[in-house]
Structure 1
């Protein structure tokens, strides 16, 4: 950079910065996700009419006589523009919506999360975790708490990120480094967690719908990626902490308090837990122990009521198939116990209001699901997903790209798509019907495909303005630097994205193909194509 350029205040923009500017510009051209799904649904109908008229077909790779295989052994494009197609759309519009797998599980889970959030339990738990950590492990505690907050992600965005900035400020460290560490945990490590969160049944439902384009009876459990995501929690914590300490914080340098807003410190957030809050957490802990005891009673004994009634199996059982019910019970029990102890919940009316508030906050999500469900249903009816999958799988086989390294390209593709389509569920609803069947046909199980997708989707959440909370994070950050812009925030978070993408992907390969470990309870790594 020349002196004259610096004096004019127009430093040369790097190639990568210009690339991000281009991504942001392209992302801004996309319509609202609801509109996008409506357009996609209409587009699928029109495309099916053209391909149906052209007679597009591919050879079905499944054996003759297998369920769903046509007599002539071909998969043909089905038009939705003829009389049968229009009647099918007309009579199934409602059931496409109500039968969409992710809808019910998310609504049920949020009933419980709403109680825990409204009672104050989630906020108190986050504060207790971070504020009680010794000074030298604060960074680790912030990242770790961010990952755990993904069980109810709004708590991480609304409570933990600004709290982390205030903590670092109080410790004499750069507050933006604290916010970056929290943001990396909450959003960059979005899919990792020690517990099954609302994102797990949501993605599992979409994966299951996509897998059934190939195998109509395939079932994907909410716990499909639990083992891998449990272990990933510690991997992401380590990566996020090291990037903060050795890259982000040194780059930010010494903080200048004159750049901050006068109201930058929220005194209430920095206060230690009050006695009544500690009492509430104790009660919540006892309630959680009670739930765990109940879970054990339904699964551990030979007579456990939620074991498989035919085989006695614990994994392929009602316990895991209905795991969202445990999420509901867990948060209601813990939230209500905390609320009773602290006085934030006194009657059943308080619990009901909390549940109603949680559901009302999902209004936009429900609208989005209506159109996403139509797109997924139309896509399945037309056979376009199966045709694309067979064609893509044949291409991979012809080029020899059928080994595990195909997942590196898949993860990278998901990370790039996420820059313009920031919603994990929206992106997966669009891409799963194509890539799940495609990778199944070259021998990989849907559960492993879903785990790989979650790495790519999470890693670039923190550098895309298309992420729904990006504007909120920017607003929080400007409290500490009134001149902070989008580019500064992206540049601050970019090292996390790079290292998450590289090291988390490497951990995936080591876990799945190096150590040959399952990504979740009963989750296979390979799909036996020849058995179909």
Structure 2
């Protein structure tokens, strides 16, 4: 009688796999992020009462600063402030409105089929020798509409690799690495930029009430990062992952591979892409006339510069029209959108998917507001900054520890907005006090928040990726998928961190439009 053989997943189990199993177990112990924020908000209220009783305070290091004391919310005045501020905390939470407005435009482009057609055109029309880089690159730029990257590009890339006689899991891994591990990188300012910038602004205001971080704060660094991620993802796929996977055996599939068909762009879709491209070009030229010339109406009316201009402050509006107008043109040409009702339905559908996000923002806004009211953020920042100064850890090397910490926390708390809303009120003020600008701190956070997305089961789309992988390898397990993606995570962490240090500190380049590296800015 033939003895059952251990699965490949079981055979590969080692110390690191057991570590990841432990991370998954610990992650499963965490409550839902919404519940987590509610508990944190309650903990801040209770903690403020305890800290106030014991007189927790810190000396304000700023010129003319006095003693920063904890403000207790566990009393009558605190209860009054909580009750009266509950609604305004929510409605005044900057990321809420910016993300919703941006997604209205993204919804039109997605519903019309423009985004899907763009990804298919980019990947399917690539030369066979350039397919890998096209897949990773498409994955990176797809994060302007993240769901589409996971739902469309990842399965499509697996199919394309199989059709070329390559291992389909290599295609899946390449796309997954671009979409998820390269999450923050992009050529365009997307919905994640105003989301993070709003949280960063709130945190920076704990030190400087007038400080503003715009969605363009990390644009330059993210553009360069796009090409780095594409290059590193291609290298890992072709030199590490694909050789390790070996030749694909169709008998491992759980589906009939002959039934899989790659739908090429139809004539009407190609016509729609041309029309959308022309609309985008015209819109870009009109926009350029408002910002490039010295007399541009969207320049700063006081200084005439781009810095602090209505263009940068209103970038969310331009994200909206950048997706909405080409999306509508594409929909009209392909006859997907025939009337204003179709456009309204598209925007409504995009909002209907944001229910969970809106609930999360409600509790996140309360936590951030309570944290600010109590002065916990300022006190922790001062004490943390003082500790870093005492041990001599105030140079650029502090960012290495910060990136590693963010990458580790991301293993258990996969939501970018949830993680940043928790950590920003502590680390933004702390690192500002030792001399670094919020924009640079945010850029470092985005590296750590991205690179471990692909090796944590806590990432919301991990189950979907595993299900797609099971089509081609029916006995695949979580360990196998994580082991496949681990080389990307390591390579991206090392390479992206090196780029950060070279770009910011060696070359002294700004991470975004007119963004300083240090706080206060020595060259205003």
Q: Would the TM-score normalized by the shorter structure come out above 0.5? A: yes
RMSD: 1.9
Query: Contact (CA 8 Å) 1:441, 1:529: kept in 2 or not?
Result: no
Mark the CA change 1:12 to 1:168 in structure 2 (over 3 Å): closer, same or farther: closer
Report the equivalent of 2:100: 107
Q: How does 1:218-237 map to 2 (within 5 A)?
A: 218-237=211-230
Q: How does 1:173-252 map to 2 (within 5 A)?
A: 173-252=166-245
- Which of 116, 137, 140 is the matching residue for 1:144? 137
Instruction: Classify the secondary structure of the residue corresponding to 2:471.
Output: coil
Q: Does 1:415 align with 2:407?
A: yes
Q: CA deviation at 1:262?
A: 2.5
Q: Give the structure-2-normalised TM-score.
A: 0.97
Query: Contact (CA 8 Å) 1:62, 1:530: kept in 2 or not?
Result: no
Q: CA deviation at 1:300?
A: 1.4
| Structure 1: gaps of 5 or more residues | none
Report the equivalent of 1:17: 17
Q: CA deviation at 1:265?
A: 6.3
Instruction: State the Cα deviation string for residues 200-236 of structure 1 (Å, max 9, x = none).
Output: 0000000000000000000001000000000000000
Distance 2:11 2:437 in 1: 49
Report the equivalent of 1:443: 435
Report the equivalent of 1:162: 155
Q: CA deviation at 1:7?
A: 11
Instruction: Classify the secondary structure of the residue corresponding to 2:132.
Output: helix
Report the equivalent of 1:375: 367
Q: Does 1:319 align with 2:296?
A: no
Q: CA deviation at 1:443?
A: 0.2
How many residues align structurally? 522
Instruction: Classify the secondary structure of the residue corresponding to 1:225.
Output: helix
Report the equivalent of 1:92: 85
Instruction: Classify the secondary structure of the residue corresponding to 2:212.
Output: coil
Instruction: Classify the secondary structure of the residue corresponding to 2:68.
Output: strand
Q: CA deviation at 1:261?
A: 2.5
Instruction: Classify the secondary structure of the residue corresponding to 2:215.
Output: coil
Q: Give the structure-1-normalised TM-score.
A: 0.96
Distance 2:268 2:4 in 1: 61
Between 11-20 and 404-413, report the one with greater CA deviation.
Answer: 11-20
Mark the CA change 1:218 to 1:10 in structure 2 (over 3 Å): closer, same or farther: closer
Q: CA deviation at 1:14?
A: 1.5
Report the equivalent of 1:63: 63
Distance 1:165 1:8 in 2: 20
Query: Contact (CA 8 Å) 1:316, 1:522: kept in 2 or not?
Result: no
Report the equivalent of 1:41: 41
Report the equivalent of 1:289: 281
- Which of 455, 458, 471 is the matching residue for 1:463? 455
Distance 1:160 1:480 in 2: 16
Instruction: Classify the secondary structure of the residue corresponding to 1:75.
Output: strand
Instruction: State the Cα deviation string for residues 161-214 of structure 1 (Å, max 9, x = none).
Output: 000000000001000000000000000000000000000000000000000000
Distance 2:13 2:331 in 1: 52
Distance 2:351 2:7 in 1: 54
Mark the CA change 1:8 to 1:326 in structure 2 (over 3 Å): closer, same or farther: closer
Mark the CA change 1:396 to 1:529 in structure 2 (over 3 Å): closer, same or farther: farther
Distance 2:258 2:433 in 1: 55
| Structure 2: gaps of 5 or more residues | none
